[in-house]
Structure 1
Amino acid sequence: MYSNQAKPVFRIVTSAGEAEEHLRVIRQAMERSTRHSTLSGLSGVVVGLLALAGCLLTQNVVKSVATVTEAWKFLFLGVWGAVFLLSLATDILLTKRRAARVGKTAFSPLGKHLTRAAAPGLFAALAFSLFYVRFPELLGTYIYGAWMLCYAVSLLSVGMFSVREVSWLGWAFLLAGALTLLIPQGWWIGPRAMMAVTFGGFHILYGLWMGYKYGW
């Protein structure tokens, strides 16, 4: 008796160009499988709006308290600590939502790599924040530039495991952070305005692009 089972068909690559094309396709497939692709565009927009809200509170509330009591620095860090925690919670929830839509798991082994990659930069930002509580006169509003640089380090580290837009955002924060530290006192655009431009504007633009290209 003869089996009706189909036999595998092997195709011989007949040219160097064809072999190169096969290798390119294989390489792209491997890159897609090793890069985090569940990032949510909506998350970037919401995080940017939260940052703008933090800037408004800092300008209108914390600044007025600073003229009355020394407790303003704790209020300052309280505002930005709340912005950070809300942003983190938003990103986690929307990333899980996005992952479910595309049939992936947000907290896979690759997700753990991303967390470890982001940790050093975030730890450095925490260290600067604690230093600011003790010696606010030494950093002043330049704490914003320090935060930008720390965040840039985290983004560039995460970008090695993620889509290229994350690295682009990291480079934008790196350049903006360096520029913020070099802005002379009294300029028309100061560190607080740069905070709104970067953590607010950059995130919103990034989120809109990510939503357009990869989905919300």
Structure 2
Amino acid sequence: MNERARAEEHLRIIRILMERATVYRAISAPTALAGGCLALLFAIFIQMREHRWAAHAPEVMRHISARQFAALWLAALVLVIIVNTFFVWREAKRDNRPLTSPAMKLALRAILPCLALPAAVTVWFFYDGYEFDNELLLVGVWIGFYGLALIATQHFAPRSLVVLGWAFLLSAVLMTIASRQLEYYATPLVPNVAMGFTFGLYHLIYAACVWRSAPAALGPE
């Protein structure tokens, strides 16, 4: 395929994505709801466990290790990916389209570069970074680059998804600016609260706004 044909194909796919933006926004709402609920549940679980053990062994500074903290949140990520895949598959099946359509491949090409650094930082954290209580750094990278991944879809995604991305990115920026003040409380209180606040509360607000503004976007079952 020559460059002209490739460019025309990309434009055609982008037009398809833009035409289906309302549908994709409706699909993202249940995923955001599930992800937000899971994030809040995980944040509450970690917080309650820390407080419970602090009452029994106050001499120990932390009771969930850095690796356990990261592993719990990665488990939440896996669950959300499974939920999102189900909703995308259901919508593709309804429209008689393949799951791995050209539109999905284009979206993945926009998103995946934004996930390379978070993946590398996560590997580093499990290998070496956990020894220095770097949860705040890890969480800041996760939040910021998740926001960048959403913003990267701005040419074909619904505007509400891009706004959500900016909320995540600006939260990471504020965390970086206030990192010195947050470091005193960083293990593991602030990183856990940050994850619950962004991945939990932001997603729930997004889901509520999408369902309220476009209740008919899901279409008939």
> What TM-score does the superposition give when structure 2 sets the normalisation length?
0.71
Of 140, 148, 157 in structure 2, the residue corresponding to residue 153 of structure 1 is 148
Of 165, 170, 173 in structure 2, the residue corresponding to residue 175 of structure 1 is 170
**Alpha carbons 2:16, 2:103 under 8 Å: kept:** no
Partner SS for 2:152: helix
Q: Number of aligned residue pairs: give it.
A: 187
Q: Which amino acid aligns with 2:136?
A: T
**Alpha carbons 1:145, 1:181 under 8 Å: kept:** yes
Match status 1:196 vs 2:196: yes
Q: Identify the residue that residue 44 of structure 2 maps to in structure 1.
A: 56
- Greater CA deviation, 153-162 or 67-76? 67-76
Gaps of 5+ in 1: 1-29
Name the structure, 1 or 2, with higher relative contact order (CA <8 Å, separation 6+). 2
**Alpha carbons 1:54, 1:83 under 8 Å: kept:** yes
CA distance in 2, matches of 1:196, 1:70: 19
Q: Identify the residue that residue 93 of structure 1 maps to in structure 2.
A: 86
Q: Identify the residue that residue 129 of structure 2 maps to in structure 1.
A: 135
Q: Which amino acid aligns with 2:200?
A: G
CA distance in 2, matches of 1:156, 1:103: 29
Deviation string, structure 1 residues 122-171 (Cα, Å, up to 9, x no partner): 22212122222212326232322111111011111123221111111111
Match status 1:215 vs 2:218: yes
CA distance in 2, matches of 1:172, 1:68: 32
CA distance in 1, matches of 2:205, 2:147: 16
- Greater CA deviation, 45-54 or 122-131? 122-131
**Alpha carbons 2:50, 2:63 under 8 Å: kept:** no
**Alpha carbons 2:143, 2:171 under 8 Å: kept:** yes
Instruction: Write out aligned runs for 1:103-142 (5 A).
Output: 106-133=99-126, 134-136=128-130, 137=132, 139-142=134-137
- How much has 1:206 moved relative to structure 2? 1.3
Deviation string, structure 1 residues 42-101 (Cα, Å, up to 9, x no partner): 111001111112212332347859x49998222222211111110101011012224445
CA distance in 2, matches of 1:76, 1:62: 11
CA distance in 2, matches of 1:69, 1:180: 22
**Alpha carbons 2:50, 2:64 under 8 Å: kept:** no
Percent same amino acid at aligned positions?
Answer: 23
CA distance in 1, matches of 2:80, 2:200: 12
CA distance in 1, matches of 2:118, 2:191: 16
How big is the alpha-carbon RMSD for the aligned residues of Structure 1 and Structure 2?
3.2
CA distance in 2, matches of 1:32, 1:211: 24
> What TM-score does the superposition give when structure 1 sets the normalisation length?
0.72
- How much has 1:190 moved relative to structure 2? 3.4
